[in-house]
C-alpha cells in the first residue's frame, strides 16, 4: 500500500548498501542462546571470506558464553531467512550469495544454553 499523503510521497531508503562505506550488513543469531538478547548486526566487506566469521567474528561477539568454545562447526546447521542454508566457508560473502541485510542463524546441536534454558 502507498502512504496516504498530501502529495507525492517517495523517499530513498535510509539504509541502502552504498551508504555503508563499501560494506554490507549481515545479521547473525545463535539459536537456543538467548543470553545474547538479539541477533548481532555486522558491517562486512562483501569480499570477506566466510571462514572469518567462524574463526574471528563469532568467537569475539559470542565469546562470553561458556558454550562458545564447545561449538563444533562441522555439526552446525545454518539458516538464511529461516530456511536451511549451507555456506561454503572458503568463499566470500558475495560468492555465498549473501546480500545486504541478510539474516543468518546458526544452530549448534547438543548446546542448549545455560542450564539447558536456551539462555
Question: Can you tell me the distance from the alpha carbon of 25 to that of 44, in angstroms, rounded to the nearest whole number?
Answer: 6
Nearest Cα neighbor of 99 from 85, 79, 78, 80 is: 80
Exposed e or buried b for every residue in 39-60, given b needs 16+ CB within 10 A? eeeeebebebbbeebbeebbee
Size of the site for another protein (CB under 8 A): 50
Rule CB under 8 A: which of 5-34 touch another protein? 5-6, 9-16, 19-21, 23, 25, 27, 29, 31-32, 34
Give the count of beta carbons closer than 10 Å to the beta carbon of residue 28. Answer: 20
Among 46, 51, 54, 61, binds another protein (CB under 8 A): 61
Q: Determine, following the binding rule CB under 8 A, whether residue 105 of this chain makes contact with another protein.
A: yes
Among 42, 46, 49, 54, binds another protein (CB under 8 A): 42
The set of cell numbers assigned to 6 is 498530501
Among 47, 50, 67, 102, binds another protein (CB under 8 A): 102
Residues that bind another protein (CB under 8 A): 1-6, 9-16, 19-21, 23, 25, 27, 29, 31-32, 34-43, 60-61, 64, 81-82, 99-103, 105, 113-115, 117-119
Amino acid at each position: 500500500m502507498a502512504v496516504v499523503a498530501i502529495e507525492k510521497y517517495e523517499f530513498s531508503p535510509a539504509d541502502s548498501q552504498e551508504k555503508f562505506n563499501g560494506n554490507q550488513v549481515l545479521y547473525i543469531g545463535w539459536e537456543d542462546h538467548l543470553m545474547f538478547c538479539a541477533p548481532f548486526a555486522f558491517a562486512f566487506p562483501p569480499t570477506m571470506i566466510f571462514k572469518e566469521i567462524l574463526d574471528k567474528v563469532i568467537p569475539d561477539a559470542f565469546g562470553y558464553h561458556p558454550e562458545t568454545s564447545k561449538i563444533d562447526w562441522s555439526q552446525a546447521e545454518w539458516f538464511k531467512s529461516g530456511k536451511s542454508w549451507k555456506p561454503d566457508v572458503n568463499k566470500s560473502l558475495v560468492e555465498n550469495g549473501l546480500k545486504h541485510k541478510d539474516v543468518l542463524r546458526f544452530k549448534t546441536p547438543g548446546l542448549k544454553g545455560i542450564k539447558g534454558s536456551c539462555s
